[in-house]
Chain A
Amino acid sequence: MLVLIGIIIIIAGFLLRFNPLLVIMASALATGLAAGLDLTAIVAAFGKAFNDTRYVSIIWIVLPVIGLLEAYGLQQHARTVIGRMKGATLGRLLTSYLLLRQGMAAVGLTSVAGHAQTVRPLVAPMAEAAAEAANPGLSDDQREEVKAHAAATDNIGLFFGEDIFLAIGSILLMKGVLEGYGYQIEPLHFSLWAIPTAIAAFLIHGFRLRRLDRRMAAKTEAGA
């Protein structure tokens, strides 16, 4: 039971907003000590694991390509592509963005869109505009809800699209952990099994966006 101290340190450390790297290290040391390991053994164990899982961090080699493309306007172009989909209702707009975000994440383009890159400058204002078109007297609370859903849609599109890409961190982690148990599994298998959930996420969230759309419209009639 004593080894669970590491989990308590993680929770407390995050709640108190310490640097997560420090919190992780403290958790590893406390857990190791609680399990009766000596300090050098813990440091060595962590070092070995860090070296064995280096492939988790090789994803950053894509940054020079992304940096080059962004300097030549990739983000602007992506915005233009999204911008062509206007004239839609709030529900349709966010559902289209959900599909686009899932699709891009599924081919590894996770950082083309995001809260800073697309949600704040583009998706949230467009969603607000679409909601306002249906309901000119949009209340502040409704405005908040619409904006919150723009951010939520970005997260859901990202989370349930990215695992279809072969070389995303989580897939490499699964591969590494299962290898430790003697199972050699190619990343493609994990990718394929992410597809049913991706479809379910699209259907569930799409259905909720339609209801959000209707709720806003219903309030328009009630308020009119």
Chain B
Amino acid sequence: MITLDFVYVLAGLTFALFAVLGLADRSNPKRLGNGLFWGLLALSMLGGDYLGDFGNGLLVLALVAIAGTGQIGRAPGGEVAAEVQAERATKYGNFLLLVALIIPAVALIGTFLFKEVAGLADPKQATLISLALGVLIALAVGMVRLKPPPLLPLQQGRRLLDSVGWAAILPQMLASLGAVFALAGVGDVVGGLIGTAIPQGSLFGAVLAFGLGMALFTMVMGNAFAAFPVMLAAVGMPLLIKQYGGDPAVVAAIGMLAGFCGTLMTPMAANFNLVPAALLELKNPYGVIKAQIGTAVPLLAVNILFIWLFAF
């Protein structure tokens, strides 16, 4: 039976190959840092369960030290020339879209299949396992038809990952920070503060506090990922799910989207809001945020209404 461990091994091997190729890239002055960073991430994927909690903590400290002191970076160039890409695009056109669609298609089919047919794969992790299988199938189909140099997918994948850089582990880091916040009782304190603002016994008041809290806390943190565990611990879990019996899938899914409305309104989400303003050479660095507020505010109201309507 295929389990999540298979996916971790696949991810570990991918990161390990990225690390080796990164180390070998003499055009990159930061190749040592890159090799170490992705190598440590490979170690985490492959052997995280054997390192112990403190060992994993040291691994994270090393990742932070490497990235925090500016030791990782991407080498200039490496992309296929635009003219070559354009020429190939006219030749392969829709085949490329088709291969790109294999991954989500296999993820979707596998999710259903692995639940219906017992014993093939861990049904609890059906989607992630199917996603990994989709990647392998798409890669195989693409390699057979396009016949690229064997290392091309890994080299191009590494180039893409290097341009994402340390931000690649930002979501995982924020999820871990959420766990430390939970341990320290931050959610209880924030929840206590918000709790004093919620009228007692008012279901709509609790929903309103949850939705607004998600948006505001996301604006502060710049990322709904960080706000979610805190607001769930503070209001979502104790009040909406436990006390009022709300559907946890609805509370979580739409609560997260209420947070996304906050992302549209904060300079903290620099890659979405400030980078494009610079890229488009706008005079006002907050021009994109200004354009988004008119959609974000009514959509936040709709999300709060949706939680109230659908979760109870």
Residues on A facing B (Cβ under 8 Å): 1, 3-4, 6-7, 10-11, 14, 19-22, 24-25, 27-28, 31-32, 34-35, 37, 40, 42-58, 60-78, 80-81, 107-109, 111-112, 115-116, 119-120, 124, 144-145, 147-152, 154-156, 159-160, 163, 165-167, 169-174, 176-178, 180-181, 183-191, 193-194, 196-197, 200-201, 204-205, 208
Interface class of chain B by DSSP: helix
**Chain B 173-185 interface 0/1 with A at a Cβ cutoff of 8 Å (1 = within):** 1111111111111
Given contacts A45-B183, A72-B92, contact A108 B272 (CB under 8 A): no
Partner of B284, one of A56, A144, A174, A180: A144
| Complexed CA–CA distance, A184 and B248 (Å) | 10
Partner of A21, one of B64, B237, B254: B64
Given contacts A47-B57, A155-B272, contact A169 B97 (CB under 8 A): no
Q: Which residues in B have their C-beta under 8 angstroms from that of A186?
A: 111, 124, 126-127
Partner of A6, one of B15, B63, B87, B186: B186
Residue B99 CB within 8 A of the other chain: yes
Given contacts A44-B54, A60-B164, A73-B93, 12 further A-B contacts (CB under 8 A): A4-B186, A56-B175, A57-B11, A66-B100, A76-B89, A77-B93, A78-B97, A107-B104, A120-B276, A154-B276, A167-B127, A196-B254
Query: Can you list 12 A-B contacts (CB < 8 A)?
Result: A28-B180, A37-B184, A47-B56, A55-B4, A60-B168, A73-B93, A119-B276, A120-B279, A151-B279, A155-B272, A156-B295, A166-B111
Closest residue of chain A to B110, judged by CB? A166
Are B57 and A19 in touch, CB under 8 angstroms?
A: no
The residues in B between 101 and 115 inclusive whose CB is less than 8 angstroms from any CB of A are: 101, 103-104, 107-108, 111
Are B152 and A178 in touch, CB under 8 angstroms?
A: no
Are B159 and A19 in touch, CB under 8 angstroms?
A: no
Partner of B45, one of A49, A54, A64, A144: A54
Are B282 and A65 in touch, CB under 8 angstroms?
A: no
| Complexed CA–CA distance, A116 and B276 (Å) | 8
Partner of B14, one of A43, A56, A61: A61
* Total chain B interface residues with beta-carbon distance under 8 A: 143
**Chain B 236-266 interface 0/1 with A at a Cβ cutoff of 8 Å (1 = within):** 0100000000001110111011001001100
Q: Which residues in A have their C-beta under 8 angstroms from that of B85?
A: 70-73, 75-76
Which one, B27-35, B199-207, B219-227, is touching chain A? Answer: B219-227
Partner of B176, one of A50, A169, A171, A181: A50
Residue B120 CB within 8 A of the other chain: no
Are A145 and B291 in touch, CB under 8 angstroms?
A: yes
Q: Which residues in A have their C-beta under 8 angstroms from that of B257?
A: 159-160, 163, 194, 197
Are B295 and A204 in touch, CB under 8 angstroms?
A: yes
Q: Which residues in B have their C-beta under 8 angstroms from that of A169?
A: 171, 225
**Chain B 47-63 interface 0/1 with A at a Cβ cutoff of 8 Å (1 = within):** 01101111111111101
| Complexed CA–CA distance, A151 and B82 (Å) | 23
Q: Which residues in A have their C-beta under 8 angstroms from that of B103?
A: 62, 65, 108
Are B277 and A43 in touch, CB under 8 angstroms?
A: no
Q: Which residues in B have their C-beta under 8 angstroms from that of A156?
A: 264, 292, 295
Looking at the assembled complex, report how far the CB atom of B132 sits from the nearest CB atom of chain A, in whole angstroms: 6
Are A66 and B172 in touch, CB under 8 angstroms?
A: no
Are A63 and B161 in touch, CB under 8 angstroms?
A: yes
| Complexed CA–CA distance, A152 and B292 (Å) | 6
Q: Which residues in A have their C-beta under 8 angstroms from that of B93?
A: 73, 77, 80
Are B306 and A197 in touch, CB under 8 angstroms?
A: yes
Are B128 and A172 in touch, CB under 8 angstroms?
A: yes
| Complexed CA–CA distance, A52 and B88 (Å) | 42
- A-B pairs, 10 with minimum CB distance: A67-B156, A73-B89, A47-B57, A47-B56, A49-B179, A43-B57, A35-B184, A64-B157, A63-B157, A193-B253
